[in-house]
Amino acid sequence: MSFKSDINRFFSNKYLAFTISLVIFVLCSFPSTHLPVAPSLNDKAEHFLAFAAWAFCWQGAFGKYTQTILLGFLYGILIEFWQAILPESFHRNFDWYDAVADSIGVLIGVALWRIKGLLNL
């Protein structure tokens, strides 16, 4: 097997897609003071990157563009609602801008998967 096929198989694994979903949910459920912070990224960039990776892997695993986009938008909004009901001591709240960053990340992740396919990578 080639390196290219190994990488494609890795990113097309449904278990990876579900694992990324779980990791995002867990990280969004932690108190904000306990989260690792990337030194050069702001909160919206972190949301964008997480959901771009999520969409890339979901598109690879399930291959349905519309389903991935709609599910990604819904997942991002549901996480924001989840954060709104967390205890105040978690310093989490509903933020539409986070949901927008999530949605843009989903669109970019799906687009990158499409570009990968067009370039036969």
Query: Has residue 13 been placed in a domain?
Result: no
Query: Has residue 101 been placed in a domain?
Result: yes
Q: For residue 38, what pLDDT is reported?
A: 57
Confidence label for 18 from pLDDT (cuts 50, 70 and 90):
very high
Query: Has residue 87 been placed in a domain?
Result: yes
Query: Has residue 5 been placed in a domain?
Result: no
Q: For residue 32, what pLDDT is reported?
A: 72
Query: Has residue 60 been placed in a domain?
Result: yes
* More confident site: 94 or 33: 94
Query: Has residue 26 been placed in a domain?
Result: no
Q: How many domains does the chain have?
A: 1
- Provide the residue range defining the domain that includes 66: 44-121
Residue 41 has pLDDT above 70, yes or no: no
69 Cβ contact partners less than 8 Å away, ≥ 6 residues apart: 55, 106, 107, 110
94 Cβ contact partners less than 8 Å away, ≥ 6 residues apart: 80, 81, 83, 84
Query: Has residue 3 been placed in a domain?
Result: no
Query: Has residue 73 been placed in a domain?
Result: yes
List the structure tokens of 110: 């799906």
Look-up: residue for tokens 């912070």? 37
33 Cβ contact partners less than 8 Å away, ≥ 6 residues apart: 91
List the structure tokens of 27: 């990280």
Distances (CA, A) of 115 to 51, 67, 72, 111: 17, 18, 19, 6
- Per-residue pLDDT reduced to its tens digit, 46-74: 999 999 999 999 999 999 999 999 999 99
- Per-residue pLDDT reduced to its tens digit, 71-120: 999 999 999 999 999 988 888 889 999 999 999 999 999 999 999 988 88
